[in-house]
Amino acid sequence: MSEDAADTFKIEIEGWEGPLDLLLALARNQKVDLRQISILELVEQYLGFVNQARALQLELAADYLVMAAWLAFLKSALLLPRNPEETPGPEELALRLQLRLERLNAMREAGARLVARDRMGRDVFPRGSPEGLRVVRQARWEAEIFDLIAAYGRISARTRPMMHVVAHRDVMTLEEAIERVSDLVGKRVDWSVIESFLPADAGDLYRKSALASSFVAVLELARQGKVELRQKSAFAPLYVRMLP
């Protein structure tokens, strides 16, 4: 049924909402439990109703007519000798109609009970301006002893190189080296390799430090024009001589 047709029909026949609705209204007129209604009687009433509407030249929506045709078929099937080949049989068709009516009726009554309840905002009202309840969340912090120890181990591992303390370490400062080289170079007349200016009794680490500082020292002295340097090639021995 199209909406237009539905609208027309509502206006013309007291707003039946479809053929099933009309059938239910007729069935209830039988004033018996829907399980006990006479389907034949119901069919007669429906067909009578449709004929009456036609006589009054009311425009019936298509699905009312489809239902009328189906009910006419059902009626003849119920009345004529049964054809066992035919499935579903007329009794089952009648049962289906009765079950559908029961279900529609159940929902109609349920709806009526539902809307008749005391409805919030219509029949009963909550407090207009409740203060409200507040939940104050507090964190309960969790950590396990294992996490703590693992964390400390992790930090220790991460910072281990940083934690080495070099208790004592001999270094020759640049000032020391300049003084030492200036002093020694003046006592020599010819070219001397730079290693010859290092202290003879130096340990390995101190010797490295002394070499590095002495190298910078001779560069500084050369810059000042006090010594000259000679080296044949990279990594070849470095010679130092006092400038006249």
Partner 1 sequence: MSGVEDLARAVEAVLFAAEHPLGIEELRAHVGAQADVRAALRTLEQLYAGRGIELVRRGDQWHFQTAADLAHLLRRDREDSRKLSRAGVETLAIIAYHEPVTRAEIEAIRGVQISKGTIDVLMEAGWVRPAGRREVPGRPLTYATTSAFLSHFGLASRRDLPGIDDLRAAGLLDPVDLAVEQETSETVTQDE
Find the binding residues for partner 1 in span 43-102 (CB under 8 A).
63, 92, 95-96, 99-100, 102
- Strand pairing class (239-242; 192-193): antiparallel
Number of residues that bind partner 1 (CB under 8 A): 77
Stretch that binds partner 1, among 1-9, 47-55, 186-194, 234-242 (CB under 8 A): 1-9
28 binds partner 1 (CB under 8 A): no
The residue with tokens 């130096």 is: 202
Q: Which of 28, 82, 117, 188 binds partner 1 (CB under 8 A)?
A: 117
Between 80 and 124, CB nearer to partner 1: 124
> Minimum Å distance from CB 117 to partner 1?
5
Residue 68 Cβ vs partner 1, minimum distance, rounded to whole Å: 14
* CA distance from start to end of the chain: 125
Report, in Å, the least distance between residue 198 CB and partner 1. Answer: 18
Q: Is 33 in the site for partner 1 (CB under 8 A)?
A: no
Among 56, 120, 234, 236, binds partner 1 (CB under 8 A): 120
Residue 135, amino acid? V
* CA atoms within 13 Å, Cβ hemisphere of 201: 0
Residues in the chain: 244
- Scan residues 136-195 and list those touching partner 1 (CB under 8 A): 136-145, 147-149, 151-156, 158-166, 169
Which of 101, 178 has the CB closer to partner 1? 101
CA nearest 18: which of 65, 56, 57, 52?
65
Structure tokens, 50: 């449709």
Nearest CA-CA partner of 241 in 181, 201, 200: 181
